[in-house]
Structure 1
Amino acid sequence: MPTLLNLHGIRFFFYSNENNEPIHVHVTKGNANGKIWLEPLLEVEYLLGFTNSEQKIIIEAVQEHCEYFKKKWNEYFRK
């Protein structure tokens, strides 16, 4: 599970066996978790257990780091 970013206790990562799905990122903090698609469009699949302020942090971080996340995904799965 490559970690891409840790921000305010929120971990952004992807699983190492998910290259058959479109590019996306998972997020977790404590018991909260989520999944956000990065392609074809940036779209929240789910954010469960996060506060509204944490959801805002997550969405802003994904928007800011989207190209970096895609780059890391492609580097990992297109070895």
Structure 2
Amino acid sequence: MHIHVHGHAGEAKFWIEPQIEMAQNCGLSRSELRLVRRLIEEREDDIQQAWRKHFGG
């Protein structure tokens, strides 16, 4: 399971399972990546539920 995050200067891909981990970054700053990771950690359950609802499983 993964998500894509888009910002003004670029985008990144984060794996959500089996653990939160950045897979790819194209242009986001370190501070933006830290913020994104923190938000993913805070909302991990909501993200997983929405992902499963959208994609099934």
| TM-score, length of structure 1 as denominator length | 0.65
Offset from partner CA, 1:42-73 (integer Å, 9 cap, x none)? 11101221112111111101111111110001
Q: How many residues align?
A: 57
The structure richer in helix per residue is 2
In the TM superposition, structure 1's runs of 4+ consecutive aligned residues that sit over 4 Å from their partners are: none
Instruction: Give the letter aligned to residue 76 of structure 1.
Output: H
Please list every run of 5 or more consecutive structure 1 residues that lacks an aligned counterpart in the other structure.
Answer: 1-22
1:63-78 matched pairs, under 5 angstroms: 63-78=41-56
Counterpart pick for 1:59 among 25, 28, 37: 37
**How high is the sequence identity, in percent, across the aligned residues?**
25
C-alpha RMSD of matched pairs (Å)? 1.5
| TM-score, length of structure 2 as denominator length | 0.85
Please list every run of 5 or more consecutive structure 2 residues that lacks an aligned counterpart in the other structure.
Answer: none
Question: Which structure has more RCO (C-alpha within 8 Å, separation ≥ 6)?
Answer: 2
Residue of structure 1 in register with 2:25 after alignment: 47
